[in-house]
Amino acid sequence: MKQKLDFIINSNDALNKQIFLLKVSPKNGAPLPDMYPGQFVHLLVHDSSSIFLRRPLSINYFDKEKNEIWLLLLSAGGGTKRISEMKAGESINLIFPLGNSFSLPKPRQKILLIGGGVGTAPLLFLGKRLLSEGFEPEFLLGGRTAIDISQLEHFERTGKVYTTTEDGSLGEKGLITHHPVLEETKFDKIYTCGPRPMMVAIAKYAAHNEIDCEVSLENHMPCGFGACLCCVEKTKRGNICVCTEGPVFNIKELKWID
Amino acid sequence: MKQKLDFIINSNDALNKQIFLLKVSPKNGAPLPDMYPGQFVHLLVHDSSSIFLRRPLSINYFDKEKNEIWLLLLSAGGGTKRISEMKAGESINLIFPLGNSFSLPKPRQKILLIGGGVGTAPLLFLGKRLLSEGFEPEFLLGGRTAIDISQLEHFERTGKVYTTTEDGSLGEKGLITHHPVLEETKFDKIYTCGPRPMMVAIAKYAAHNEIDCEVSLENHMPCGFGACLCCVEKTKRGNICVCTEGPVFNIKELKWID
Amino acid sequence: MDRLKVNIGKLELRNPVMTASGTFGYGDEFTDFIDLSRLGGIFVKGTTLEPRQGNDYPRMAETASGMLNSVGLQNKGVDYFLSDIYPRIKEYDTHMIVNVNGSTLEDYVACTEALADLDKIPAIELNISCPNVKEGGMIFGISCTSAANLVKAVRKVYDKTLIVKLSPNVTDIAEIALAVEAEGADSVSLVNTFLGMAIDAEKRKPKLSTVTGGLSGPCIKPIALRMVWQVYKAVKIPIIGMGGISNWKDAIEFILAGSQAIQVGTYNFINPTVSVEIVDGILEYMDRHNIDSINDLVGKLDY
Amino acid sequence: MDRLKVNIGKLELRNPVMTASGTFGYGDEFTDFIDLSRLGGIFVKGTTLEPRQGNDYPRMAETASGMLNSVGLQNKGVDYFLSDIYPRIKEYDTHMIVNVNGSTLEDYVACTEALADLDKIPAIELNISCPNVKEGGMIFGISCTSAANLVKAVRKVYDKTLIVKLSPNVTDIAEIALAVEAEGADSVSLVNTFLGMAIDAEKRKPKLSTVTGGLSGPCIKPIALRMVWQVYKAVKIPIIGMGGISNWKDAIEFILAGSQAIQVGTYNFINPTVSVEIVDGILEYMDRHNIDSINDLVGKLDY
Ligand SMILES: Cc1cc2nc3c(=O)[nH]c(=O)nc-3n(C[C@H](O)[C@H](O)[C@H](O)COP(=O)(O)OP(=O)(O)OC[C@H]3O[C@@H](n4cnc5c(N)ncnc54)[C@H](O)[C@@H]3O)c2cc1C
Ligand SMILES: Cc1cc2nc3c(=O)[nH]c(=O)nc-3n(C[C@H](O)[C@H](O)[C@H](O)COP(=O)(O)OP(=O)(O)OC[C@H]3O[C@@H](n4cnc5c(N)ncnc54)[C@H](O)[C@@H]3O)c2cc1C
Ligand SMILES: Cc1cc2nc3c(=O)[nH]c(=O)nc-3n(C[C@H](O)[C@H](O)[C@H](O)COP(=O)(O)O)c2cc1C
Ligand SMILES: Cc1cc2nc3c(=O)[nH]c(=O)nc-3n(C[C@H](O)[C@H](O)[C@H](O)COP(=O)(O)O)c2cc1C
Ligand code: FES
Ligand code: FES
């Protein structure tokens, strides 16, 4: 069941100049419902002229004990900049939990989670979930430079981590899609989130190597819950809403590879 | 010379639930130019959907030593509410100093400054100025209830103070225009600022008693510096701009009394 | 709650607050947030005779206090509506009104006929103002003759309450309203979106796949309000006003300007509970101003 | 700075950034804030043959991302302009263009004639789109015939650059643009304000003394941009675009949509230095995108 609820910002930490980790809890203290990796929240910043619509953000982690949602935010434009400037104690309104979620792998599948830039956001939650379900997730994380790769310590606590940076400041130098692990290891399942060109390249790699692959899309979303039909992706079933039937899609459903 | 300049909020104190005293200084530390009682600033709050236009506020006091402007703010609508929530350290942009100013009385004139509610704002600056010029200003301050009368201690340090409240919680009970001092004392000059009906009543009283009287108007002001022609008052010279030829008018110029 | 009752044609609404077509899905999307029975009515998605895939993504651009959309009437067609949607939504305890669209006069008539006998669809809203499809839509809404012809044809096959949705992209909206009133429309609803455009300066490309799209949200409210007022002074049939309504105050303004009822559109995306908050706000306003019936406010602008 | 040079009729502008009539006074109001010689031109206050007191206060209402005004062409008349204002403003080192208004065709012609011989007024902008006066203004701008007749009459008495300012309150703005182009207008400027309205719900009164007024500011930008684009596709004469421009990005968007030059209006009130900031921003944009001449961007929307 979707809810609209006021949250209080417990903390907002700059991980680098552009990436922020917000931890938020319901203002009314009510226990949060179950949430699943891949789902997102739709965030409203009150009284801002640069944000008319809500802003979708993946659930980076759901800390059930602390009744706290983590949001990993890239300050990309006017709206996210404004959010990044918010301080602990301020309140924000969320609609949540929205969207579908990543599917669980089959038992004993070898799994790789590939995240580019802030696209790692949903993968931390997914990784932790997979770990707790008995899987052994591995991570391939990439960015332009070392500081673009956030929450490395959290990922390292969750599974094996490979990294790439375009400038070589961390891990392999080059594009994430050229990391040797993709050549050397045969994974059974890939989950990925990041810039669209990266995801398309990975989808092609996965399709070519007959690896099951799920991607998380970031189409623009006015409503986030199926009311406006603006967030559509062209799929084999026609134009369908990413906010309700996604954001996670198996690449077989998409028209990325032909 | 008018300037557009970023200011930093040194402090923002709630004097009561709705009235706030903001003290602001130029961000760049530059010494403020001369300013005169009656002049106002035009304040922009950044990135707010409820404030498109700037908001005019009287200069409540200019502390030359501290290079600081005081603004006395009533949280009246969306814009002023938003300003009232700003915190020390935040910045605001001002266009200033704008408008004309109160004229000085003639030597030895007996002077009364009448302020209703937050209309007392420009009168503190005026009172201090008059005092420093060797006059003995007296003040008649009114409000609905005691806490509506702000900065009483400052006024008391500047001259004799009479008060009225509608509920009798401070000074005389009743409307400001019925205060006995207006019957008992013959003033030579009255300066007034407050709700329009109050100012009109005082203007009529002054005209009837042949007292020289200046009022400070609060017409809505999109630009504040003569560019839009929206803030006009009907005067004996036709429609004229309150932001440039006012906000202070001698009642003889207005068409309030017929 | 009788204080809020209003009539639109043969329709009696529990209250004047309804939700706008294309912004409220089929109602289902909002059941987690609000009790639909608290609404006067729901205008469901734009429906056409044949299924439509709509326009390509991107279909949306955010603008100052508003947004552009070019959804382009994506829907599964009236047959699917009858077989798969109607059975579900007919259970809702509020008026479900279908927004009817077409490329040709014949389309509109056929789509209307398919809906005419549905017990729980007491009215249709004829959309002659969609700016987002190449054929049909707005073309009918910007000339008096074509609007009148269309309404005449639909009126022949439809006995229930016929609401005609007007385009704001015209020189004289009152003239179009008069033309459709003359052909027997029971009510006019206005406004649909304004034709607008957004450009990505860095990419030098339009932000919408269709270049232009429909502007909605608070930014258009002053123009929409003016149009309601102009139409109110011209016609006798009830007006359903909309355009940028985001709170009860906006709703009251539209009612004072002459709206018998109102629709909330884009703001449902931002605040999915806004419609019922508006119902509450109107009641409080009426209490504060000692108003017995909402009808006493319609068009009561004191000017 | 030649990279920014553009031509409008016989006029050569230093750069395409100008300020809109009614929002920039006579330029004087801004000399404390900016160096006027950095602007391509200044469109001064709406001027009429006879002095006008304008409409009653209140003349302004704030709206979502915009404002309504009903100033109603308050000005001291063209004779006062000649005797008292012109001698002062002719010293400014930028093009000073007068916005000409009237109630009748004869008014417009007479006002134009009075300005025709002024050395330092190289162009006029014929305002056929003011929504805030009972007679004249918009009436001329909403029909092709009346717009054409007016332009024909003024063209006869005016040899310099004749810019015609179009109303957005029409079904088909391109049609009007074509009509005035056919009569010899050197350029069209668009858009003027949209007719809108605001109501005080608590007082149940209009917020403007005139009930309706003209809407301007960022809220109208998407519609204005669309209109520029439509007109660009229709006419050959240069277009001066405006409507909600508040930064260089907006200016680039208007240029890409087909504006040869732009005007900044309402935003001057909020940021009196915005016009020169836009000049700087355009230059930086051109550097970043390796663009030699601003003319290479006009209408270059990639769609
Ligand atoms: C399901 C989903 C999950 C997301 N998760 C995250 C996350 O965890 N962390 C994070 O930093 N970002 C995430 N994003 C992207 C984030 O929503 C955008 O960066 C943000 O909306 C940009 O807003 P802006 O005002 O800063 O940028 P602007 O470019 O000024 O935005 C203009 C408009 O475009 C939309 N828009 C622009 N970029 C995007 C984008 N990439 N995706 C969706 N809409 C966009 C905005 O919502 C807004 O309506 C997610 C997006 C989706 C759809
Ligand atoms: C020269 C001058 C000096 C002023 N000095 C002070 C002062 O020292 N302290 C103080 O608290 N207030 C002062 N005011 C009034 C103050 O500007 C308004 O209360 C404020 O603009 C209201 O904005 P809002 O968004 O809170 O209210 P809203 O009602 O939401 O404002 C809507 C619009 O109306 C305008 N408006 C509303 N009320 C007024 C008003 N009374 N005067 C002018 N414009 C108004 C706003 O500027 C805005 O454009 C002064 C006004 C003027 C003209
Ligand atoms: C995403 C979206 C889709 C819309 N689809 C339709 C539609 O199918 N039929 C219709 O008549 N109007 C449609 N509209 C217009 C709205 O019903 C309404 O007329 C308009 O948005 C103005 O109201 P608002 O400002 O409250 O949104 C749509 C609007 C939006 C934003
Ligand atoms: C207060 C005000 C006064 C105006 N007066 C005139 C005028 O006298 N003549 C005219 O052609 N346009 C006038 N306009 C319209 C502007 O020139 C411009 O066309 C319009 O405001 C749209 O641009 P903007 O959104 O940048 O303000 C006026 C606008 C405002 C806000
Ligand atoms: S964002 Fe509105 S339907 Fe997906
Ligand atoms: S506020 Fe613009 S002229 Fe006075």
Element (H, E) at B74: strand B68-74
Q: Please, which residues have CB within 8 angstroms of residue A67's CB and are 6 or more apart in sequence?
A: A25, A26, A29, A31, A32
**In D129-272, where do the E strands start and end?**
161-165, 187-190, 194-197, 199-200, 205-206, 212-216, 239-241, 261-264
Q: Name the DSSP letter for residue C220.
A: G
Determine how β-strand D17-19 pairs with β-strand D41-47.
parallel
Whether residue C208 is contained in a domain is answered as no
A223–C56: do the CB atoms touch at under 8 Å?
Answer: no
D54–B230: do the CB atoms touch at under 8 Å?
Answer: no
Determine how β-strand B111-116 pairs with β-strand B138-143.
parallel
Contact C272, D174 (CB under 8 A): no
Write out A165-208 in H/E/C secondary structure.
Answer: ECCCCCCEECCHHHCCHHHHCCCCEEEEECCHHHHHHHHHHHHH
Helix (H, G, I), strand (E, B) or coil at C196: strand
Whether residue D185 is contained in a domain is answered as yes
Site of tokens 């995306």 = C269
User: Between residues A48 and B256, which one has the greater pLDDT?
Assistant: B256
Position C140 pLDDT exceeds 90: no
Contact A243, A98 (CB under 8 A): yes
Helices (H) and strands (E) in chain A, counts: 6, 16
CA–CA distance, D61 with D68 (Å, rounded to integer): 5
Chosen for mutation from B219, B232, B234, B237 (greatest number of chain D CBs closer than 10 Å) is: B232
Element (H, E) at B98: strand B91-98
* Cβ count within 10 A of residue C29: 21
Tell me the pLDDT of chain C averaged across its residues: 95
Nearest chain B residue to D219 by CA: give it.
B52
Please report residues of A whose CB lies closer than 8 A to that of C67. Answer: 52-53, 222
List the Cα angle C256/C30/A7 in 5-degree steps.
Answer: 95
List the Cα angle C168/C170/C174 in 5-degree steps.
Answer: 80
Contact B94, B42 (CB under 8 A): yes
Contact A206, A212 (CB under 8 A): yes
- What's the pLDDT at C139? 77
C65–A49: do the CB atoms touch at under 8 Å?
Answer: yes
CA–CA distance, A174 with A143 (Å, rounded to integer): 9
Chain C touched by D296 (CB under 8 Å): no
Q: Identify the CATH number of the domain in which residue D164 sits.
A: 3.20.20.70
- Within chain D, which residues score under 50 in pLDDT? none
Determine how β-strand D11-13 pairs with β-strand D6-8.
antiparallel
Dump pLDDT digits (tens) for B105-134: 999 999 999 999 999 999 999 999 999 999
CA–CA distance, C70 with D95 (Å, rounded to integer): 41
- Which sign does the torsion angle of CA A197, A200, A204, A210 carry? positive
- What's the pLDDT at D1? 58
* Cβ count within 10 A of residue C241: 31
Q: How far is the CA of B77 from the centre of ligand 2 (A)?
A: 8
Q: How far is the CA of A56 from the centre of ligand 1 (A)?
A: 6
Q: Which residue has the CA at smallest separation from atom 3 of ligand 3?
A: C22
Angstroms from C270 CA to nearest CA on chain A: 6
- What's the pLDDT at D278? 98
DSSP string, C145-167: HHHHHHHHHHHHH--SEEEEEPP
Give the relative orientation of helices C248-256 and C221-234 as an angle to the nearest 10 degrees. 30
Kindly report the backbone phi and psi dihedral angles of residue C19, in degrees, each rounded to the nearest multiple of 5, phi listed first: -115, 145
CATH architecture of the region A111-216: 3-Layer(aba) Sandwich (3.40)
- By Cβ distance, the residue of A44, A52, A233 closest to C65 is A52
Please report residues of B whose CB lies closer than 8 A to that of D272. Answer: 4, 95, 223, 225, 227
Position C137 pLDDT exceeds 70: no
Q: Which residue has the CA at smallest separation from atom 3 of ligand 5?
A: A226
Q: Please, which residues have CB within 8 angstroms of residue C256's CB and are 6 or more apart in sequence?
A: C297, C298, C299, C300, C301, D199, D201, D204
CA–CA distance, D31 with A62 (Å, rounded to integer): 56
- Regarding pTM above 0.90, the answer is yes
**In A59-173, where do the E strands start and end?**
61-63, 68-74, 91-98, 111-116, 138-143, 160-165, 172-173
Annotated domain spans of chain B? 3-98, 111-216
- What's the pLDDT at C163? 98
Helix (H, G, I), strand (E, B) or coil at D271: coil
Q: How many domains does chain C have?
A: 1
Q: How far is the CA of A93 from the centre of ligand 2 (A)?
A: 29
User: Which residues 38-57 on chain B approach chain A with CB closer than 8 angstroms?
Assistant: 47-50, 52
Quote ipTM for the complex: 0.97
Position C261 pLDDT exceeds 80: yes
| Percent share of chain B, pLDDT over 90 | 93
CA–CA distance, A109 with A104 (Å, rounded to integer): 10
Largest CA distance in chain C: 56
Q: How far is the CA of C68 from the centre of ligand 3 (A)?
A: 10
Give domain B3-98's CATH number out of 3.40.190.150, 2.40.30.10, 3.40.50.720, 1.10.3720.10: 2.40.30.10
Q: Please, which residues have CB within 8 angstroms of residue A10's CB and are 6 or more apart in sequence?
A: A23, A24, A25, A68, A88
Residue among D111, D130, D144, D219 flagged as catalytic: D130
User: Which residues 77-106 on chain C approach chain D with CB closer than 8 angstroms?
Assistant: none
Contact C191, C227 (CB under 8 A): yes
Closest CA to D259 of D1, D20, D52: D20
What residues of A are in the C interface, CB distance below 8 Å? 1-4, 44, 49, 52-54, 95, 219-220, 222-234, 238-239
CA–CA distance, A195 with D75 (Å, rounded to integer): 56
Dump pLDDT digits (tens) for C72-95: 999 999 999 999 999 999 999 999
Angstroms from C6 CA to nearest CA on chain A: 27
**Side chain identity at A228, as an amino acid letter?**
C
CA–CA distance, B61 with B59 (Å, rounded to integer): 5
Helix (H, G, I), strand (E, B) or coil at D47: strand
Contact A21, A34 (CB under 8 A): no
Closest CA to C219 of C168, C174, C262: C168
Query: Residues with Cβ within 6 A of ligand 5?
Result: A 221-224, 226-231, 241, 243
- By Cβ distance, the residue of C62, C69, C272 closest to A52 is C62
CA–CA distance, C49 with C78 (Å, rounded to integer): 5
Could you give the C-alpha distances from A38 to A74, A111, A177, in angstroms and in order? 17, 16, 22
CA–CA distance, A69 with D66 (Å, rounded to integer): 37
- Ramachandran area for residue D226 (φ above 0: left; ψ -120 to 50: alpha; else beta): alpha
Chosen for mutation from D219, D233, D297, D298 (greatest number of chain C CBs closer than 10 Å) is: D219
Nearest chain C residue to A54 by CA: give it.
C270
**Side chain identity at C187, as an amino acid letter?**
S
Could you give the C-alpha distances from A247 to A251, A256, B123, C207, D226, in angstroms and in order? 12, 15, 60, 21, 32
Nearest chain B residue to A51 by CA: give it.
B49
Q: Please, which residues have CB within 8 angstroms of residue C142's CB and are 6 or more apart in sequence?
A: C167, C169, C170, C176, D171
Chain D touched by C257 (CB under 8 Å): yes
Position C135 pLDDT exceeds 70: no
Pocket test of ligand 5: the residue of A231, A235, A239, A245 to mutate, having most ligand atoms within 8 Å of its CB, is A231
* Cβ count within 10 A of residue A33: 11
Q: What is the mean pLDDT of residues A196-215?
A: 95
Burial grade of A235 (CB within 10 A; 0-12, 13-18, 19 or more): middle
Concerning whether D144 is annotated as a catalytic residue, the answer is: no
CA–CA distance, C15 with C286 (Å, rounded to integer): 13
Dump pLDDT digits (tens) for D257-280: 999 999 999 999 999 999 999 999
Angstroms from B54 CA to nearest CA on chain D: 6
> Residue A115 corresponds to which tokens in the numbers above?
């995240």
Closest CA to C191 of C279, C131, C111: C131
- What's the pLDDT at D134? 64
| Of A77-91, C244-258, C281-295, the least confident | A77-91
Contact D216, C270 (CB under 8 A): no
Q: Which residue has the CA at smallest separation from atom 14 of ligand 3?
A: C22
C44: domain range? 2-54+72-194+216-297
Please report residues of B whose CB lies closer than 8 A to that of A50. Answer: 47
- What's the pLDDT at C134? 64
Could you give the C-alpha distances from A124 to A200, A217, B65, D219, in angstroms and in order? 21, 16, 55, 40
Q: Name the DSSP letter for residue B41.
A: E
- What's the pLDDT at C198? 98
- What's the pLDDT at B38? 98
* Cβ count within 10 A of residue D92: 18
Position C178 pLDDT exceeds 90: yes
- With bands split at pLDDT 50, 70 and 90, how would you rate the model's confidence at C1? low
Helix (H, G, I), strand (E, B) or coil at D178: helix
Chain A touched by C62 (CB under 8 Å): yes
Determine how β-strand C187-190 pairs with β-strand C161-165.
parallel
- By Cβ distance, the residue of C197, C205, C301 closest to D302 is C205
C269–A2: do the CB atoms touch at under 8 Å?
Answer: no
Chosen for mutation from B80, B229, B243 (greatest number of chain D CBs closer than 10 Å) is: B229
DSSP string, D206-219: ESSTTSEEEEESGG
CA–CA distance, A194 with A180 (Å, rounded to integer): 19
